[in-house]
Amino acid sequence: MYQELRCETCMNADKQLEGFIDGPPLEASHDGVDSRTTKCAFGLQGVCCKLCTNGPCHITPDSPMGICGADAKVIVGRIFLKAVTVGSGCYIHLLEKTARNLKNTAQAGGELKGNAALDRLGEIFGIEEHDDHKLAIHVADAVIEDIYRPDFEHMALIQKLAYAPRYRKWEELGIIPGGAKSEVFDGMVKSSTKLNSDPTYMLLHCLRLGISTGIYGLFLTNLLNEVMFGDPVNLLPNDGDSNTLTGVSEVSLKKFLGGSFTTMIELIVSGKIKGVAGVIGCSNLTAGGHDVITAALIKDLISRDIIVLATGCNSGGIEIYSLMTTEAAELAGPNLKEACKSLDMPPVLNFSPCLAIGLLETAVTELAEALKIDTPQLPLVFSIAQLLEEQALADGAFGLALGLPLHLGLPPFATGSPMAINILTDRMKDLTGGQVVISHDVKETANILELIILEKRAALGLLNPKS
């Protein structure tokens, strides 16, 4: 006999799933939320240090330092850096496995379904080889060699892959990463005791990790997968007569728009599309319910004529609301609705799983290139509305390195350090052009993100449209 362990099931965007989970006499993750509503305040703020057995040390107004002398700035910096490091390490691990799988497949003469992606990589890397299997081996070797470089040696492919204005900014800031695996190693060491106690230096290392995560762990992993498995775009049957569009890439997005970003640029300039929101990342059980906040924010954004590019684990919740169908244009503001109907395009374009964040961010840089501006100038925002795992922080670090406004629906475990929060939400604007916005309220978040988009439009000399 199972012991019945019940509490209130958390809200879920998928009501059918919510009802199913509420049935069996077992405690699932959705059930455990209600019994764990009381959180450790020290953990939430990132001011609990357990790096040595003198601790755990909790930072309070009466005890502003741990036994070793580390204060809130140092402890928060270490915890935040370690989280970004682990998140980056997960992506780089996957990149290496993907590169080795591609090499093994090519050596065995296996089928390679993505010739266009392979040719694209060969051109970017400067590899001349007409035999597809030999080219795939050379591409895989180049990636593996690069990520194993030492920390003091820049990865050879990064300048070929990065957007030129951003590369120059990163070079100016001294945050061009060395070998991706070395950066992960350094991040773990720097977040330990004794070696480093400069929180600003730790946050800068997060940007280095963000760059290697975005360009290598995300973008390159996607392209290597595409070489093996082909174009990811899919039409999924939905309830009724509609189809859900998923698996969009920067290439297929341009196909939607007639082969280039010219159409989207014209729609942005005219105000038919007020701006772009990249809604990325996780589903979370405690931030208002599973996918609930993400779906609500997307519905609010498209009602304001802001087109949404979505990716990550939130895709399922978005699909439940049929937001990735052409019929969803009826939920959009009048200008975006008109644009979507003219292109037979949904107001929410889905790039599929978390790895596809790299494709979304590539679309961002290509849009900036088409406009002949740097990425921070774009009328574009990112949101991780229901932040969950460490990988999401690594994703966010790349967004900040690109100079993009980044909304977090939950604060990272860093609020115990006013200095860290000030760097992330304010001083980052002077470093990369990016900024973190922390808000859990849907309406407040949509207001803030829309205001940022309007400010970016004004700075570009674009008239702010009237809905």
pLDDT digits (tens, 9 = 90+) for 289-318: 778 889 899 999 999 999 999 888 888 778
- Where does the pLDDT of residue 439 fall: very low under 50, low under 70, confident under 90, or very high at 90 and above? very high
List the one residue out of 392, 258, 231, 240 whose CA is nearest residue 314.
392
Q: Is residue 465 part of a domain?
A: no
pLDDT digits (tens, 9 = 90+) for 113-141: 999 999 999 999 999 999 999 999 999 99
Rg of the chain over Cα atoms, rounded to whole angstroms, equals: 22
Q: Where are the beta strands (DSSP E) in 185-238?
A: 234-237
Same-domain status, 255 and 189? no
230: left (phi over 0), alpha (psi -120 to 50) or beta: left
Residue 27 has pLDDT above 50, yes or no: yes
Q: Is residue 318 part of a domain?
A: yes
Same-domain status, 398 and 255? yes
Q: Which of 175-184, 202-211, 251-260, 346-355 has the lowest mean pLDDT?
A: 251-260
- Where does the pLDDT of residue 217 fall: very low under 50, low under 70, confident under 90, or very high at 90 and above? very high
Q: Is residue 464 part of a domain?
A: no
Tell me the mean pLDDT in the region 144-168.
96
Final residue in a domain of this structure, among 189, 213, 229: 229
Find the farthest-apart pair of alpha carbons in the chain and give their distance in angstroms, rounded.
Answer: 69
Same-domain status, 302 and 415? yes
Same-domain status, 288 and 415? yes
List the one residue out of 465, 84, 31 whose CA is nearest residue 267.
465
Compute the distance between CA of residue 293 and CA of residue 362 in angstroms, rounded to an integer. 26
Compute the distance between CA of residue 356 and CA of residue 343 in angstroms, rounded to an integer. 23
Final residue in a domain of this structure, among 196, 211, 229: 229
Same-domain status, 14 and 48? no
- Where does the pLDDT of residue 11 fall: very low under 50, low under 70, confident under 90, or very high at 90 and above? low
